[in-house]
Amino acid sequence: MAQFTVYRNTSSANKDTVPYLLNVQSDLLDDLETRVVIPLYPASVLKGKSFRTLTPIFEIEGNEYIMLTPQLAGISKKLLGSMVIDLSEKRSEIIAALDLLITGI
């Protein structure tokens, strides 16, 4: 399960509102049964109210989704469905959001 890969959310509790989960966990920890993920919501959820650095927007399957970095969570890797897209090319934006969340810079 590669870092910066987006997976379908298979949780029946919230997959309708959070269709995708972004894996931000290092590949070095692949043996763990959990993954650190950030939920990706449809960008329309925040109605244009977002912090550019903290909550970047990505295009996935033709639609815009916002990375809600403050909702970072650890989940069982069993809740990750099929791979949708690799966002490695957006690494700097993802790391900047994590840096702002954790260090404030």
Tokens of 70: 């403050």
- 3-state SS class at 84: strand
> Please, which residues have CB within 8 angstroms of residue 5's CB and are 6 or more apart in sequence?
22, 23, 83, 84, 85, 86, 87, 88
pTM for the structure as a whole: 0.94
Distance (Å, whole) CA 101 – CA 34: 21
The highest-level CATH class for domain 5-103 is mainly beta
Yes or no: say if 9 and 18 are a contact pair by the CB < 8 Å rule.
Answer: yes
34 closest CA partner among 87, 97, 76, 92: 76
Distance (Å, whole) CA 39 – CA 100: 17
Per-residue pLDDT tens for 6-39? Answer: 999 999 899 999 999 999 999 999 999 999 999 9
In eight-state DSSP terms, residue 103 is: H
Per-residue pLDDT tens for 30-71? Answer: 999 999 999 999 998 877 677 889 999 999 999 999 999 999
- Kindly list the domain boundaries of the chain, sorted by start residue: 5-103
